[in-house]
A and B are shown apart, each in its own frame.
Chain A
Amino acid sequence: MSRVSRDVVVALVLIGLTLAFFWTTFDVRRAPFAAIGAEVWPRVILVPMFLLSVALLIKALREGDPPEKPDFDSFRDWLAYYRNPIVCFSLFFVFLLGLRSLGILVAGMLFTFAMQAVLGHRSPGHFIMYAAVAVATVGGMWAVFTYGLGVQLPRGRMTGI
């Protein structure tokens, strides 16, 4: 059984999104005295976008996947290939979740340390260096903004900084 081309799926998702966005333009309130309504411009974008998505679908059905697309035999292979970006995005997501309770200074330091620890070399010496880098870079930038520029960066409820 031949696999469905990746771009076919992408094109179908785009067509779906385009239709969903187009549908919402019917809910846009009409401002009185407006020369053209606020829904017109999105429709001007969505019509060519829909046509282009259909063109992409046809192209993908005819040509299949682009040659540069990496092939994976299993989900595990795919996961291994994209491990670093997935981990980084997950860490950043955790950083965002921790922002309210820890504040940007502590959450930022933890994120910087964790990302280096995950991607870099793992040894006690390296971990000490990662901690130093995290404290110096994030702490330094935080100090510049807080004391130098007078910007109130997000404080943590738990940490108070």
Chain B
Amino acid sequence: MELPFFEILGSAFGNVLTPYNLMLIAVGVLAGLIAGSIPGFTIAMAVILTLPFTFLMPPVEGLSMMMGVFVGGLAGGLIPGILVGIPGTPSSVATTFDGFPMARAGKPGLALGIGIWSCFFGGIFSAVILAIFAPALARVGLEFGPWDYFALVIFALTITASLAGEQLVKGLIAGCIGLLIAAIGEDSLNGVTRLTFGFDILDQGFSFLAVLIGLFAFSQLMGDIRDTDSARRPMALADPSAARVPHIESIRTIFGDVGNLLRSSVIGTLVGVLPAAGGSIANILAYDQAKKASRTPERFGKGAPEGVVAAESANNATAGGALITMMALGIPGDVITAVMLGALLAHNVAPSPSFIPNQPVLAYSIIVAFFVANFIMLAVQIFSLRIFTVVTKIPLYALASVILIYCAIGVFNLNNVTFDIWALFAFGVLGYIMKVLGFPIAPIILGVVLGPIAEANLVRAVSVSSDPTLFITRPWSLFFLILAGFSVLFVWYQAQRRTHRWTLAYPIALVIAISLPILMMPGTVRPVIGAALLLLGAFLLWRRWRIGWVLPTD
């Protein structure tokens, strides 16, 4: 029997708002803020290090803590970004564009305040969107057959690879390597071993987390400490008095620019929903849009508060977006949610379209924990900014030596076998070599996560019907395959946008192409949307015809 919505929500709040759980979220937020405020120490690493502690906790408590780390980590990057011009995380790159000039102009407190409150607003905005849209998307996800799921995974992998930019081929190869790593050992459906080259120790395959931590944490840290000077340099900061924040003025500033705040939060949430596109893209995209929409674009880059508002609200809003995709479809939105997915699986919870309907209390507890984590993040940031200014003085070599051992302990804790630590080492070496050779790491990680999902759905699809045309005749499958094709082409589109005429047709072709599968979908609303998109495509084509296929000269 289905529980009424408010009863589910009440139970979720009851689960999350216990003193012990709130303390766990606060600890998570603090850990995330510390991680985020240290350049080179990524949010994913912080979540990975938190993971072993959560294994022995009930799912709600463990995941609440991880939500705290996630939210805190995203917010923490702004501190060094504003005070010393070095972003703590890639998600705070655009924050430095105006945050650092503001700090240098004698307003570090105001810049921090605007950043903190923008983070909070972006996070809360995306939490509300998450609560509203995740169940709706899950309902849509229930329509997915194995063909559609397989196509969705292909889309997720191509979009990840396309983010490699100029190195598209290497990005796609990296995705294939990730899929291949996940295929080593017994296959999950028949229990038949494969790709082990006769080594019995590989029969069970590799632990997902050992692979993930090895590839990600090792490659990241080794890259950071390669140069002795940067490994030894402490992040000397401005005077701790810089951490004094005028909150009223900060709030007044961001709500005086509410259009920018809302637009950036929407951009952040939408970018977060896209598999593999994270805060690092969202904050730059939102900053760019804020600059384009501004009446005084010349102020950007010289200490404009709007720049900080845009970058930080978009950055934190990506979290809610990424969680929508993870919870509703079981597809991780980025490396951090890939780790979260691993955590859920470790707690015997498998996110999928049936997750929210079947386990509504747990699902809403996660959403509520994310919501509450944003409030706790705000409180912790307000009261302990000075701590973070001290934390950033730790030299990287000390940090790296400790993190690597913590990773080893955490990985061992998963299955209690030392082979996992060896796997961590082996994938650390592989990850670093690949990074040196110009291969992006994110597609490998997502390949490892998505491989089993892709295989299971491919086998299911073939078991149900041997007709391969179903991959292109089913609307959702066709929709995702079209998007996958366009995401691969996007790299060339970006590179040749102002030099080749074919790029003028790219957006028009995209609109027309995606309208076709939407037109094929059942019901009334979606075909109407499809028809509207088709008309829009036709209009754009007609307008381009009128103007002529001429490249812009500006």
Contact = CB atoms under 8 A, between A and B. Distances in A.
Interface of A: 6-7, 10, 14, 21, 24-25, 28-31, 34-39, 41-42, 44-46, 48-49, 52-53, 55-56, 59, 66, 68-69, 81-82, 84-85, 88-89, 92-93, 95-96, 99-100, 104, 108, 111-112, 115-116, 119-121, 130, 133-134, 137-138, 141-142, 145, 149-154
Interface string B408-442: 11001100101001100100110010001110000
A89 B428 contact: yes
Interface string B215-235: 000000110011110011000
A137 B413 contact: no
Contact of A141 (B176, B180, B406): B406
Contacts of B406: 137, 141
Given A36-B459, A49-B180, A120 B173 contact: no
A85 B432 contact: yes
B398 A49 contact: no
Given A59-B169, A112-B405, A31 B398 contact: no
A56 B402 CA distance: 38
Nearest to A31: B190
A142 B459 contact: no
Given A56-B169, A85-B226, A119-B397, A35 B459 contact: yes
Given A41-B187, A116-B397, A89 B429 contact: yes
B192 A52 contact: no
Given A35-B459, A82-B226, A41 B183 contact: yes
B408 A104 contact: yes
Contact of B194 (A38, A56, A92): A38
B53 A149 contact: yes
Contacts of A119: 225, 228, 231-232, 397, 400-401
Given A112-B405, A120-B395, A93 B425 contact: yes
Contacts of B20: none
A104 B458 contact: no
Nearest to A112: B401
Interface residues of B, number: 60
Say what secondary structure dominates the interface of chain B.
helix
26 contacts: A24-B194, A24-B195, A31-B192, A36-B463, A38-B187, A38-B193, A38-B194, A42-B195, A45-B176, A45-B179, A45-B180, A53-B173, A69-B438, A84-B222, A88-B400, A92-B425, A99-B418, A99-B421, A108-B409, A111-B404, A119-B225, A137-B402, A138-B402, A149-B53, A151-B413, A154-B412
A151 B55 CA distance: 11
Given A7-B437, A21-B195, A29-B193, 18 more contacts: A28-B192, A28-B193, A30-B192, A38-B187, A38-B194, A39-B194, A44-B458, A45-B176, A45-B183, A53-B173, A85-B225, A89-B428, A96-B422, A100-B418, A104-B412, A111-B404, A138-B405, A141-B406
Interface in B455-497: 455, 458-459, 462-463
A133 B459 contact: no
Contacts of B409: 104, 108, 141-142, 145, 153
Nearest to A14: B173
B402 A150 contact: no
Q: Which of B402, B416, B421, B432 has the most CB of A within 10 A?
A: B402
Closest 3 CB pairs of A and B: A119-B397, A115-B401, A31-B190
